[in-house]
């Protein structure tokens, strides 16, 4: 008899006095946790398959279910934790890399939570956004150093292409393939309604979504999936993906099971084959090579669209961003190590990269020190969780932020970190038709609009509280942030003072 080394992480607890054996949980669970036992005449569970997605708990009509973290433990060991031991068992069985998805869940410092926002009192009155103008519109793109005028006072400075965002929040890159058609439709329609942008990720643009082009960033990644002239022309901006916060230094992998006919057509690859994007772009080994691609994309689209370059937050991120700012790119995107993903090797997701807060502060400072901050706009992503994080990011130097995980949570994601299995019970990270239809794009779109609208109200209130009435005046205004529970080094990198410290 085979030995079962691994005990389930979660246990399904069913209150038999409440269960009416409606079998909704059985129908809802793509992991086949629940079933009806004909002999016992009751529902039974296989907790081994449970990923704690909470779908059954949410849909049980009698609240008969809850999922509990197992209380079964190995002997205490501060060095060899239960999850490390279990991972060794898994790898000893499989011989393969551990896979996971979504962002890094480990208890590393969240610097957003160690920074507090200022508010006006007495001498610098606060502004009431309900009664006074409050501008949260943001323009992304290279800004001129000087404005020149002709003899009649007309501005004659030639502007680089700019993107106008009604809110400093965009939806980050998530490919069709890694997420469902209905999730993409929700994002595209919400971006259009909100006057912001969503991002195709590296999966190409489904033909049905060309109509949302003015609110779409089309991505060019190392695999070049779905990239052609019409695709480049369709978007409002082009993003070259050099790296991703969840898995810096490696490429992407979408399993063949997720490459349905529609995904295959959109990506221009055969149905059912694995979509593997290489770690590097095979034509980019230097900033000069990157410049060639930036200029090629601009040439191909008549110099009408800003080109973004996205990199993962890594140790020397400031120097890399400085190179990108000189490459002709219009926007630098930095993706932090807590950023989400549809699939990543667990060890890479958890131990490669650096926190976005530190990366952002050092990049903004470096570009200012070198006098090239206006060469590019700065967009960050990688676990922006609330309107307060948005305000702190802008005060640290960002022009705008990307939200990915937060957007998926608005669509119903419960962060079970099982996207890589393709069995998302919420219809988001799946291509299985019976699961995809669980996400109604009419509902999803409205929930995204509500989320960003709510955050916009909160951003305006926080800005008003600081006595600031435009994003422009908040950007890089680190006087508006104070640190708590941070070391001298962390404060220095973030460029902020400790709470209560006098600014000299």
In the complex, the residues that contact ligand SF4 under the rule CB under 6 A are: 14, 19-25, 34, 43, 53, 60-62, 64-65, 101-102, 408, 413-419, 424, 426, 428-429
Q: Would you say the C-alpha torsion 159, 165, 170, 171 has a positive or negative sign?
A: negative
What is the smallest separation between the CB atom of 51 and ligand SF4, expressed in angstroms?
A: 7
What Å distances lie between residue 484 and 121, 173, 283, 358, 500, CA to CA? 21, 32, 45, 15, 10
Question: Strand 400-403 vs strand 138-140: parallel, antiparallel, or unpaired?
Answer: unpaired
Looking at the Cβ atoms of 181 and 231, the one nearer to ligand SF4 is 181
What is the smallest separation between the CB atom of 32 and ligand SF4, expressed in angstroms?
A: 13
What is the smallest separation between the CB atom of 284 and ligand SF4, expressed in angstroms?
A: 30
Helices (H), 314-428: 317-325, 346-351, 356-369, 387-396, 405-410
Burial 398-436 (b: 16+ CB within 10 A, else e): bbbbbbbbbbbbbbbbbbbbbbbbbbbbbbbbbbbeebb
Looking at the Cβ atoms of 305 and 417, the one nearer to ligand SF4 is 417
Q: Distance between CA atoms of 283 and 291, rounded to whole angstroms?
A: 11
Looking at the Cβ atoms of 378 and 419, the one nearer to ligand SF4 is 419
The crossing angle, in degrees rounded to 10, of helices 317-325 and 287-300 is: 40
Question: Strand 400-403 vs strand 169-171: parallel, antiparallel, or unpaired?
Answer: parallel
Residue 41 near residue 50, CB atoms below 8 Å:
no
What is the smallest separation between the CB atom of 253 and ligand SF4, expressed in angstroms?
A: 16
What is the smallest separation between the CB atom of 59 and ligand SF4, expressed in angstroms?
A: 6
Element (H, E) at 84: helix 82-94
- Cα angle vertex 43, ends 38, 46, to 5°? 105
What is the smallest separation between the CB atom of 66 and ligand SF4, expressed in angstroms?
A: 10
Looking at the Cβ atoms of 428 and 468, the one nearer to ligand SF4 is 428
What is the smallest separation between the CB atom of 438 and ligand SF4, expressed in angstroms?
A: 10
Q: Indicate the DSSP class of residue 501.
A: P
Looking at the Cβ atoms of 8 and 280, the one nearer to ligand SF4 is 8
Looking at the Cβ atoms of 62 and 124, the one nearer to ligand SF4 is 62
Q: What is the 3-state secondary structure (H, E, C) of 119-187?
A: CCCCCCCCCCCCCCCCECCEEECCCCCCCCECCCCCECCCCCCCEEECCCEEECECCECCECHHHHHHH
Looking at the Cβ atoms of 424 and 459, the one nearer to ligand SF4 is 424
Looking at the Cβ atoms of 138 and 172, the one nearer to ligand SF4 is 172
What is the smallest separation between the CB atom of 436 and ligand SF4, expressed in angstroms?
A: 12
Looking at the Cβ atoms of 267 and 417, the one nearer to ligand SF4 is 417
Residue 501 near residue 166, CB atoms below 8 Å:
no
What is the smallest separation between the CB atom of 14 and ligand SF4, expressed in angstroms?
A: 5
């Amino acid at each position: 008899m085979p030995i079962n080394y691994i005990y389930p992480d979660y246990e399904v607890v069913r209150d038999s006095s409440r269960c009416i054996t409606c079998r909704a949980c059985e129908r809802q669970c793509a992991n086949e946790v629940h079933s009806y036992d004909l002999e016992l005449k009751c529902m039974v569970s296989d907790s081994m398959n449970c990923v704690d997605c909470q779908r059954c708990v949410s849909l049980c009509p009698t609240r008969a279910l809850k999922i509990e973290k197992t209380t079964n433990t190995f002997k205490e060991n501060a060095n060899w934790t239960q999850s490390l031991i279990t991972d060794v068992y898994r790898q000893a069985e499989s011989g393969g890399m551990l896979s996971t998805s979504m962002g890094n869940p480990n208890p590393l410092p969240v610097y957003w939570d160690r920074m507090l926002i200022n508010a006006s009192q007495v001498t610098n009155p606060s502004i009431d956004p309900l009664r006074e103008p409050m501008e949260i519109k943001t323009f992304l793109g290279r800004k001129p150093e000087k404005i020149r005028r002709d003899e009649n006072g007309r501005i004659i400075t030639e502007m680089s292409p700019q993107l106008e965002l009604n809110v400093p929040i965009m939806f980050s890159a998530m490919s069709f393939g890694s997420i469902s058609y209905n999730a993409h439709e929700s994002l595209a329609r919400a971006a259009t309604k909100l006057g912001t942008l969503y991002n195709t990720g590296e999966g190409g643009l489904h033909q049905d979504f060309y109509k949302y082009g003015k609110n779409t960033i089309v991505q060019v990644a190392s695999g070049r999936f779905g990239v052609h002239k019409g695709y480049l022309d369709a978007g409002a901006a082009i993003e070259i993906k050099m790296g991703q916060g969840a898995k810096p230094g490696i490429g992407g992998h979408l399993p063949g099971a997720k490459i349905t006919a529609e995904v295959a057509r959109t990506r221009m690859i055969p149905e059912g084959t694995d979509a593997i994007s290489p770690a590097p772009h095979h034509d980019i080994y230097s900033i000069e090579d990157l410049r060639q691609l930036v200029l090629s994309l601009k040439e191909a689209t008549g110099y009408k669209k800003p080109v973004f370059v996205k990199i993962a937050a890594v140790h020397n991120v400031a120097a890399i961003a400085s190179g990108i700012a000189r490459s002709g790119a219009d926007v630098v995107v930095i993706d932090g190590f807590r950023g989400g993903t549809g699939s990543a090797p667990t060890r890479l997701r958890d131990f490669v990269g650096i926190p976005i807060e530190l990366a952002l502060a050092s990049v903004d400072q470096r570009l200012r020190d070198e006098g090239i901050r206006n060469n590019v706009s700065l967009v960050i992503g990688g676990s922006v969780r609330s309107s307060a994080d948005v305000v702190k990011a802008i005060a640290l130097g960002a022009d705008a932020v990307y939200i990915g995980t937060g957007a998926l949570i608005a669509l119903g994601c419960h962060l079970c970190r099982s996207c890589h299995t393709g069995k998302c019970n919420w219809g988001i990270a799946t291509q299985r038709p019976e699961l995809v239809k669980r996400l109604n794009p009419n509902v999803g779109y409205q929930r995204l609009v509500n989320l960003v609208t709510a955050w916009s109200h909160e951003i305006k209130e926080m800005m008003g509280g600081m006595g600031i009435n435009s994003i422009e005046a908040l950007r890089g205004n680190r006087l508006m942030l104070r640190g708590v529970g941070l070391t001298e080094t962390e404060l220095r990198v973030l460029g902020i003072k400790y709470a209560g410290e006098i600014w000299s």
